[in-house]
Structure 1
Amino acid sequence: MHRTHTCGELNINDLGKEVTLAGWVQKARDLGGMTFIDIRDRYGITQLLFNMDENADLCEQARQVSREFVIKVTGKVVERTNKNPKIPTGDVEIKVAALEILNAAKLPPFLIEDETDGGEDLRMKYRYLDLRRNPVRNNLVLRHKMAQEIRKYLDAQNFIEVETPVLIKSTPEGARDFVVPSRMNPGEFYALPQSPQTFKQLLMVSGFDRYFQIVKCFRDEDLRADRQPEFTQIDCEMSFIEQEDILNLFEGMTRHLFSTVKGIQLEEFPRMAYNDAMRLYGSDKPDTRFGMQFTELNDLVKGKGFPVFDGAELVVGINAPGCAAYTRKQVDELTDFIKRPQIGATGLVYARYNPDGSLKSSVDKFYSEDDLKKWAEAFKAEPGDLMLIMAGPTEKVRKQLNELRLEMGSRLGLKDKNKFAPLWVVDFPLLEWDEDSQRYHAMHHPFTSPKPEDIALLDSKPGEVRANAYDLVINGTEIGGGSIRIHDRSLQALMFKHLGFSEEEAQKQFGFLMDAFEYGAPPHGGIAFGFDRLVSIFAGLDSIRDVIAFPKNNSGRDVMIDSPSSISDEQLKELNIKTTV
């Protein structure tokens, strides 16, 4: 062995021991008569001491090493004179008797420190160096611990971990597939799974009544902070259960993780219907760490001659506590924020509830102070508050106001990363209308069962049919989602019909699943957690990149290995893929 101990475990109880350490040079300090080197591995840092008076040759050798050299040292554990209480090994140092340079290193392109001078692009190019930094390494240690606790919890609940195929068939629903050409079947393609959905349902048909898998999934879609082209799911399925069973069991798993990994005891998770989430927050994943719920004003503001409100389907607003003192410039900044193309609002109306009790709005021409008092009552506003109001088509204006609410939450410091507000959102619509294709699509996926009492509405009012579906939301981020599945062939065929599939298309795409239902499919349902998102919330991060060992950038590229890349003409020929000049 190159070492007897790690660089993070020696302490005052080890005084006098002869030890061997190996690791990377964090920094070196030449003080003339003495040289100090901090040696680092993933467990910590230990200070090394080289004394010129006792061994000049060894001290000279120590002066040859630089940052990130890989070295091995042997020496005696002694007590430090200048102790460092910030590290576990800060009471001791190694008085070095022998030094071996295992590998020299070039000067890194950025500092390997907790606070680095490297930008994100540079650190992603040299990700193997970035992974040496404590914050990034600690995130991966956290990920490991969470995965272990998930497996412990699910194993104790009689779940079996089963691996499902990575090369599957492409399906038309959902996001774009990554496709893989088949050399042995010219002109045909595999797809990488967006989810193991149909396989875990088939496992239920097979009698594996409790399945889970921590599994890679793939979606060829536009990227953002919480999306990567390849991501990891905690994928689960259960038989002979109802929705309440799944909510209770996986709420238990989430609480177990917070308790064992973060030492936080969470209360019982509240439930909220989808329609209420949209009405009160304009989002199916509301951040409930803070208030500012929506207040609808149609009855109070219409018919007063203000055309923006009179012509709107919905007039709705939020009350920003303590913001009546906002300057015109600050209000203009908020207006500019919601007018950005990503949000697309046309304007913002405001009303100040001044500390002296007077009310002033940006539409005083149309509304008296008595009118504004009624607004304040509706908002439950108090002196010193600022009411922010928007108008437009219902669905659109709710989404726009949600963005404003989240922005105000950030500005007022209400989005505390050390506070956790979990929430189950339930009773989603089964179908949603898509303007581009002019047909209904499954809001979750085609295998989600409708509420039994709503099945009769499929023909007459398909948009009103509710699904046996549920999402777990924490701090405004969807962490997991699932549903009770369809397990009857005739109902599954009906669902495909309402999604615009012909019988032939449904049989071609999903005949294997419907055929399996004829051999005794039990009632079943499941859930999938976004593991990367869950770890990032535990780590207090906005992006999932730093909880993934080797992530892609916003263009879906791995700039470290330069992927994706072109392949040779010979490979293309083998795959029967023709190229154009």
Structure 2
Amino acid sequence: MNTSNIYRNCTMDKIGEENVGTTLKIAGWVENIRDHGGVSFIDLRDMYGVMQVVMRDTALLDGINKEDCISVEGLVQHRDEETFNPKIPTGTIELEAHAVEILGKVYAQLPFEVQTSKEIREDVRLKYRYLDLRNKKVKDNMVFRSQVISFLRQKMTEMGFLEIQTPILCASSPEGARDYVVPSRKFKGKFYALPQAPQQYKQLLMVSGFDKYFQIAPCFRDEDARADRSPGEFYQLDFEMSFATQEDVFRVGEEVLTETFKKFAKEGAAVTEAPFPVIPYKQAMLEFGTDKPDLRNPLRIVDTTDFFQRCTFKPFHGKTVRAIKVHADMSKGFHEKLLKFAQSIGMGGLGYLVVNDDMTYKGPIDKFIPDDMKNEIKEIGKLEAGDTIFFIADNEERAALYAGQIRTELGSRLDLLEKNAYRFCFVNDFPMFEYDKEEKKTIFTHNPFSMPQGGLEALETKDPLDILAYQYDIVCNGVELSSGAVRNHDMKIMVKAFEIAGYTEEDLKNKFGALYNAFQFGAPPHAGMAPGVDRMIMLLRNEENIREVIAFPMNGNAQDVMCGAPNEISEKQLREVHIKIRD
């Protein structure tokens, strides 16, 4: 207890029945006022809890309004038993006020009730975020976030990782998302960029001889918002290891995430035990229709392309055909709603077969399947009586995409997802290159600094589109938590990889000069990844929008409506950095 503080000598969480009969001074915000004539009550809230204050001298209430910040001195006493409040820890006691001091007055009309702020429009909440953060549920998300980050730091340190901060002002990178650029005052016409990730710096730390690095790294990307992506900036648990393989990184990721989710998930939650399932990218696209599979959903996709090329159903000829089997009672209305959903995502239709009790079929395409092939579809789909099997046909890319969306929709509509569970997996073996139809050239699929499987020999002898990279993601409940890779630390391999993607060695020197130069001085093999902190906390708190776990998020349009960013700056400021605004 702090006896020297002039505003308070105790916080709400430190007050209990053992304090009855003692005089205390507390401070906080007025959450509720109840005037009962001869006696008045205030619910006073600080960061740690709520305390009922009783004012038998009603003059003490004069000039006090909701959300005023006040200090109250008084005697702790028991409440009358009929007024006990079991919802709060201080529900059996109250403070009888002897003196009240207003510390911070509310001068304007409150834009909303703090206690119900989560129910109002998001733009209003974000404009008055400092009030929204007084809401217990919103505040608790921030406290929770702090606890998770503290645990991550402690865990990484225990595992031998060294926390090192990398620069915020860096060189612009031509790869990845759009940079946020910062004009230089001293160097006319030149710009810094905010880091999209500490990618090059953490690799340079490995070249420097640091064995294991980590940081809770801020990353800046000028990209559009999504429910699981905050525009502008986000944080990740960035780590890198020297003399490490893909499997070494997997073991670290599994240990950190398993322990974090077991510690902070809701009581009784199921968390995938290490080792996590490892699903190659090609298999993920076939079985789940996405490289972000939600393993809580028991449905799997199977390939029926070859089967339907031998049937008489012409709409499927020449197309990739994927199928999803479901065992559930589905009405005609259910089928109609699912068809409408299929059409809403761009599909022309949705074929299906229902398996009768006698293992015959009914459905719109039954008549196109020859009798001598009906047992074959039973084997392919592992069909049983009562099953329905849906068919999705298109080119290979869209068939995978649509099948994945139908799988997700079926899982949701039929309530098939495992409850209170966090199901992790690694997705690996991503293609190193892809063909850009618009640019009409081969480009990197993901991180250009990844090591190609097969090394230099693969780059020199294989079709680039057949080369896989040592790249991997961690996925949890359909959300990509992390991406990572074994890095390309060999200069010859790097030059050849970039050559395939259309870069000359001179381009490599100019655009990635630090890595190019550093790798000529004995670079160790190294690998790492970077789980997203915001997404981790969003999943643990069961929030549908990532902005709920960020203290001061931008809105979906990448605006800070509270502080007014982005905003205009003065002509003087523009001149200092040699910038002229074009019409």
AA aligned to 2:124 is: L
AA aligned to 1:294 is: I
Deviates most, 467-476 or 445-454: 445-454
Quote the Cα distance in structure 2 between the aligned partners of 1:450 and 1:431. Answer: 10
Quote the Cα distance in structure 1 between the aligned partners of 2:384 and 2:93. Answer: 59
2:350 to 325, 341, 348: 348
1:15 has 2:20 as partner: yes
AA aligned to 2:91 is: G
1:244 to 234, 244, 247: 247
Aligned-residue offset at 1:521:
0.8
CA-to-aligned-CA distance 1:166-192 (integer Å, 9 cap, x gap): 111112111111111111111111111
CA-to-aligned-CA distance 1:112-140 (integer Å, 9 cap, x gap): 11564411111111111111111211111
Quote the Cα distance in structure 2 between the aligned partners of 1:290 and 1:144. Answer: 31
Structure 1 segment 101-500 matched on structure 2, within 5 A = 101-105=102-106, 106-113=108-115, 116-228=118-230, 229-262=232-265, 266-268=272-274, 269-312=276-319, 314-323=320-329, 325-328=330-333, 330-340=334-344, 343-354=345-356, 359-367=361-369, 374-415=376-417, 418-452=420-454, 455-500=457-502
Q: TM-score when scaled to structure 2?
A: 0.93
2:41 to 33, 36, 44: 36
Q: TM-score when scaled to structure 1?
A: 0.93
Change (3 A) 1:399 1:458: farther
AA aligned to 1:335 is: L
Decide whether the 8 Å contact of 1:359 with 1:369 is kept in 2: no
AA aligned to 2:86 is: P
Question: What is the number of equivalent residue pairs in this alignment?
Answer: 570
Gaps of 5+ in 1: none
Quote the Cα distance in structure 2 between the aligned partners of 1:295 and 1:491. Answer: 37
CA-to-aligned-CA distance 1:475-504 (integer Å, 9 cap, x gap): 011111111111111111111111110222
1:76 has 2:75 as partner: yes
Change (3 A) 1:19 1:420: same
AA aligned to 1:234 is: L
Per the alignment, in what secondary structure is the counterpart of residue 40 of structure 1? strand
- Give the corresponding residue for 1:95: 96
CA-to-aligned-CA distance 1:267-295 (integer Å, 9 cap, x gap): 12221111111111011110001211002
Per the alignment, in what secondary structure is the counterpart of residue 572 of structure 1? helix
- Give the corresponding residue for 1:574: 576
- Give the corresponding residue for 1:522: 524
CA-to-aligned-CA distance 1:355-402 (integer Å, 9 cap, x gap): 676532122442367756654443334444332211011121111111
Aligned-residue offset at 1:440:
2.5
Per the alignment, in what secondary structure is the counterpart of residue 12 of structure 2? coil
Aligned-residue offset at 1:266:
4.2
Change (3 A) 1:370 1:139: farther
AA aligned to 2:581 is: T
Structure 1 stretches of 4+ moved >4 Å: 263-266, 354-358, 368-374
Deviates most, 121-130 or 108-117: 108-117
- Give the corresponding residue for 1:86: 87
Aligned-residue offset at 1:429:
1.5
AA aligned to 2:467 is: V
AA aligned to 2:41 is: F
Change (3 A) 1:14 1:415: farther
Decide whether the 8 Å contact of 1:422 with 1:472 is kept in 2: yes
AA aligned to 1:451 is: Q
Quote the Cα distance in structure 2 between the aligned partners of 1:120 and 1:455. Answer: 54
Per the alignment, in what secondary structure is the counterpart of residue 113 of structure 1? helix
AA aligned to 2:163 is: E
AA aligned to 2:88 is: I
Change (3 A) 1:34 1:385: farther
Aligned-residue offset at 1:447:
0.8
Gaps of 5+ in 2: none
Decide whether the 8 Å contact of 1:318 with 1:389 is kept in 2: yes
CA-to-aligned-CA distance 1:280-318 (integer Å, 9 cap, x gap): 101111000121100222243333322211131x11121
Decide whether the 8 Å contact of 2:297 with 2:418 is kept in 1: no
1:50 has 2:49 as partner: no
Aligned-residue offset at 1:518:
1.3
AA aligned to 2:48 is: Y
Decide whether the 8 Å contact of 1:454 with 1:465 is kept in 2: no
Q: What fraction of aligned residue pairs are identical, expressed as a percent?
A: 40
Per the alignment, in what secondary structure is the counterpart of residue 21 of structure 1? strand
Change (3 A) 1:384 1:38: farther
RMSD of Structure 2 on Structure 1 (CA): 2.0
Aligned-residue offset at 1:459:
4.5
AA aligned to 1:337 is: F
Quote the Cα distance in structure 1 between the aligned partners of 2:264 and 2:119. Answer: 30
Change (3 A) 1:204 1:131: same
Decide whether the 8 Å contact of 1:110 with 1:117 is kept in 2: no
CA-to-aligned-CA distance 1:60-90 (integer Å, 9 cap, x gap): 3326422211111111111122211121111
